[in-house]
Structure 1
Amino acid sequence: MASYTEEMQKYFQNNNRVKENQAHSAKVHSVDWSCDGRKLASGSFDKTVSLFSLDRDRLSKEHTFRGHGDSVDQLCWHPTHPELLVTASGDKTVRLWDARTSKTVATVNTKGENINICWSPNGNTIAVGNKEDLVTFIDAKTHRSKAEEQFKYEVNEISWNNEGDLFFLTSGQGCIHILSYPDLQHQYVLNAHPANCICIEFDPTGKYFATGSADALVTLWDLEDLVCVRTFSRLEWPIRTMSFSHDGKILASASEDLVIDIGNVETGEKITEVPCEYPTFTIAWHPKRHLLAFACDDKEKYNDRDAGTVKLFGLPSDRSD
């Protein structure tokens, strides 16, 4: 009987095509799928948000959201509403968008240049972090700030756990800081890496979370016991982005290496890798399929053409465009 790794290796042998889609005029900073998997959004250095619809194996560009006055550094969709998304920008605002319209639902002014953003699991709160390590919590209905927390350490990425009662931050000292929510009291500090802890991701089943670091390691943590259970060490550059598959069984991670590593969560085994021409800084598995969206560094930086593309991996290899 074939193992899960062998089954998925065979699957990706038959579904290994990469499709490139023009999205922006400059580097893409963030990609994310809507909760129903019907739409993909991307945010870019060109100050815009591009919206795509997915029809079988093809992305079709629906709309370009304009309004930010600076780079759109991160975006995320509402956890249960498939038409709402939120964006963080260096223009000191957070914007909410409705995919059914061409207008901003709300603009929230913040105190600094925003670099990371996330939505609470119940959809009631948006957390945004800026370059000065200030995290602001915004009421998603009133669009007003309801709390803010200034941290004395470098905050890289932020996220709630799946239950929404704990708030996690990765730090420049290689630590994972865990706060209770909503009272924001420090509960734990995990010494996760000897170098800058860059990103954090929770698996959909609520069993694990993963962190990526400047030490080029991805560490997998048991969420209940808060212990490291596995390390992925196939990449050689700082880990910039990670994503769990919809079933929680596959973890993709990317960096300045010219491949995206795709591994088995339970064993750590390599399933496959996705070749890339340039460093990759944002990836996202589809919420229902083994389909990976990703974007590489700006090609113009390398005197090449077609900057600002979004790519899909996991398409049938026997189909022609």
Structure 2
Amino acid sequence: MSDSEQSWECIAELVGHSSWIYGVPITSNGMLASVSGHMILLWDLETQELNAVLEGHTKTILALDRSPDSRFLASGGIDKITTLWDLETKELICTLAHRKDTIHSVAFSPDSKLLASGGENKYKTVNGQKTTIYLWDIDSQELTKTLSGHDLRVNSLAFSPDGKTLASISNDLTTRLWDVESGSQTQVWALVF
């Protein structure tokens, strides 16, 4: 059988979610994180049992990502906050900021030193009303840059493998590339129907 014809088999069903599931990052120590409403569930993949429940949000979590070094978990959601969790102690480290809009996307840089978060509402910028992406320094827990350019909600974020570029995808039907060092937009691709 070729790789393209490989059949997949379900090896486990993790039961215990009470709502839609957003995000399922797997850590290097065999844990899977999933969202159930306003809680993050940590599962042991070997035993297939619930290991911990992380509570810090008050409304549904829509975005979840783990740092590449597997030390941190970031979450964002309808309660308009981005949170940072310690995966070893399973404790909330901090709430990075209260925004005026729902957080739809979070992503760590490859070196686990930055966290990007994308929201929904437009903010007044020098370029008019634009949706923003926040870049956070993990060590200082401070906002380092605000990237403005999208016209609608930012649905997904991803860093390049070298961490120098951030890609963002929005409901405005554009994909944008950002220079992380300068915060400037370097490319825009628009979907045209």
User: How far off is 1:212 after superposition?
Assistant: 0.2
1:180 Cα deviation after fit: 2.6
Structure 1 residues 122-155: Cα deviation after superposition (integer angstroms, max 9, x where no partner):
151001112x323211111222222224555122
1:245 lines up with 2:160 in the alignment: yes
**Aligned: 1:265 with 2:171:** no
Aligned residue number for residue 197 of structure 1 = 103
**Structure 2: runs of 5 or more not aligned:** 122-130
Q: TM-score, normalised by structure 1?
A: 0.52
Higher relative contact order (CA 8 A, sep 6+): 1
Corresponding residue of 2:116: 210
Q: Deviations over 1:268-290 (max 9, x none)?
A: 22211122137xxxxxxxxxxxx
Deviation at 1:218, TM superposition (A): 0.6
* Residue in structure 2 matching 1:135, options 33, 40, 44: 40
Q: Deviations over 1:3-58 (max 9, x none)?
A: xxxxxxxxxxxxxxxxxxxxxxxxxxxxxxxxxxxxxxxxxxxxxxxxxx8xxxxx
1:112-127 residue pairs with structure 2 within 5 A?
112-127=18-33
Q: CA deviation digits over 1:57-87, x for unaligned, max 9?
A: xxxxx25xxxxxxxxxxxxxxxxxxxxxxxx
| Amino acid in structure 1 at the alignment position of 2:112 | G
Say whether the 8 Å CA contact 1:173–1:194 is kept in structure 2.
Answer: no
Rg comparison, structure with higher value: 1
Write the distance in 1 (CA, Å) between the matches of 2:149 and 2:184.
10
Q: Following superposition of structure 1 onto structure 2, how do residues 66-77 of structure 1 map, counting pairs within 5 Å?
A: none
Instruction: State the Cα distance separating 1:242 from its structure 2 match.
Output: 0.8
User: Measured at CA, do residues 135 and 206 of structure 1 come closer, stay the same or move farther in structure 2, by a change above 3 Å?
Assistant: closer
The list of structure 1 runs, each at least 4 consecutive aligned residues, that deviate by more than 3 angstroms after superposition, is 149-152
Aligned pairs, how many?
A: 181
1:211–1:181 CA distance, 2 compared to 1 (3 A): same
Task: For residues 203-245 of structure 1, give each alpha carbon's deviation from its aligned partner in whole angstroms, at most 9, with x where no partner exists.
Answer: 1122211000112211111121111111111101011111111
In structure 2, the CA distance between the partners of 1:203 and 1:256, relative to structure 1 (3 Å rule), is same
Match of 1:229 among 134, 138, 144: 144
Whole-angstrom distance in 1 between the partners of 2:141 and 2:56: 22
- For residues 229 and 150 of structure 1, the distance between their equivalents in structure 2, rounded to whole angstroms, comes to 27
Q: Distance in 1 between matches of 2:57 and 2:186?
A: 40
What is the CA-CA distance between 1:101 and the residue it aligns to?
4.1
What is the TM-score when the length of structure 2 is the normalising length?
A: 0.82
* Contact 2:178/2:185 (8 A) holds in 1: yes
Aligned positions of 1:179-194 closer than 5 A? 179-194=85-100
| Separation of aligned partners in 1, 2:12 and 2:104 | 29
- The one-letter code of the counterpart of 2:76 is T
Relative to 1, partners in 2 of residues 1:105 and 1:172: Cα closer, same or farther, differing over 3 Å?
Answer: same
Quick one: which amino acid aligns to residue 51 of structure 2? K
Task: Give how far 1:174 is off.
Answer: 2.2
**Seq. identity, %:** 17
Give 1:248 deviation, angstroms: 0.8
- 2-side partners of 1:159 and 1:119: how far apart? 6
Q: Residue type matched to 1:257 in 2?
A: D
RMSD after superposition: 2.2
